[in-house]
Amino acid sequence: DTGVSQNPRHKITKRGQNVTFRCDPISEHNRLYWYRQTLGQGPEFLTYFQNEAQLEKSRLLSDRFSAERPKGSFSTLEIQRTEQGDSAMYLCASSLTSGSYNEQFFGPGTRLTVL
Amino acid sequence: DQQVKQNSPSLSVQEGRISILNCDYTNSMFDYFLWYKKYPAEGPTFLISISSIKDKNEDGRFTVFLNKSAKHLSLHIVPSQPGDSAVYFCAAGDGSGTYKYIFGTGTRLKVLA
């Protein structure tokens, strides 16, 4: 399977705990995006990597959120001291780099439930 | 502030008929538009796109129309099939160097057999 993969698919945690999600993009894709989707909404942009460099972060990404892409391949998204409002589907997408818009390929998402 | 709006949360169409999904946007800097389809428990899947320099793009049963003056785009599916039943998201490229998308809230399409 050469698509975008995300792990875990589901995560249930208690308020105040830390969680980490992983995204493995399509191997030749340089761009990697994280989005968050809540019930009844479309995906909302969180952050963007070009290779290993994190080039943009949304205002939605509070100080409790951190994302990394250490070798320009897989990426992790960590949420510290989770709150109930963090409950959402976290989507990762990747695309080629060509100086223009390219189709973003999405993974299946990680559904986070904070109790 | 919702920059990309899909005002119809749901739509039901008979199999074989045309499905028309609508999308409005507010930001004139948007220069690229896409439609994604999403099935339950899966990530969104790219369907079709259109650059702001065009007003129409076709791909098989799917056609996207762009009216820049009205800041409106639509997706036409002809003929509609039961397998088209899904949530459809309109998205816009924000014209920045990150090429990120701004998504609408989605329209749930149900094609009735």
Interface test with B, best of A45, A104, A105 (most B CBs within 10 A): A104
Residue type, A113: T
Which residue type does A101 have?
Y
pLDDT tens digits for range A66-91: 999 998 899 999 999 999 999 999 99
Contacts of B49 in chain A (CB under 8 A): 101, 103
Chain B residues with CB under 8 Å of A91 CB are: 43-44
Q: Is A99 in CB contact (< 8 Å) with chain B?
A: no
Contact between A91 and A35 (Cβ < 8 Å): yes
Structure tokens at A48: 């963007």
How open is the CA angle B43-B21-B93, to the nearest 5 degrees? 60
**Spatial CA neighbour of B33 closest among B48, B46, B50, B45:** B50
Q: How far apart are CA B85 and CA B38, in angstroms?
A: 9
Report the alpha-carbon angle B63-B60-B39, nearest 5.
80
> pLDDT digits over B14-55, tens only?
999 999 999 999 998 898 999 999 998 889 999 999 998 999
